[in-house]
Amino acid sequence: MFSTFEKIKELAKRRGISLQKVSEDLGFSVNYLYTLKEKKPKSDRLQEIADYFNVSTDYLLGRTDNPAIATDDQTPPDDIDEIIENAMMFDGKPLTDDDKRAIRGIIAGYMSSKER
């Protein structure tokens, strides 16, 4: 299981920003994020980090591999492009543009065969 620190480090890397930049943006001390190698953050700090990266606190704590935030509106999107834009790989990483094109092609092929 990954530590909270490792999750934050990976999220920062995906955004192309340093941990120092994350700390500065959140108003944390320079070394605060590194202390999370050994301990869990307090709930208020955890929430700030989750909000910053737009992920769930459960994802940061390693309780789920799904970074999506649960919402009260659980109605599924009805637009295929919206579904694809919100889709994630099984490992929780965003889909590449090539992946999205492939998925659109698969769906379009399925829908056209269904219309016949």
pLDDT number for residue 1: 39
Give me the number of domains the chain comprises.
Answer: 2
In a domain, 32, yes or no: yes
DSSP secondary structure, 63-92, as one string:
S-S--PPP-S--PPP--HHHHHHH-B-TTS
pTM of this prediction? 0.59
Q: How far apart are CA 66 and CA 98, in angstroms?
A: 21
pLDDT number for residue 108: 80
In a domain, 73, yes or no: no
- pLDDT tens for the chain, residues 1 to 116: 358 999 999 999 988 999 999 999 999 998 999 999 988 889 999 999 999 998 989 888 888 877 777 655 555 556 777 777 767 665 667 778 888 888 888 888 887 787 66
The CATH number covering residue 45 comes to: 1.10.260
pLDDT number for residue 100: 82
In angstroms, the Cα distances linking 89 to 30, 39, 74, 92 are 32, 29, 20, 5
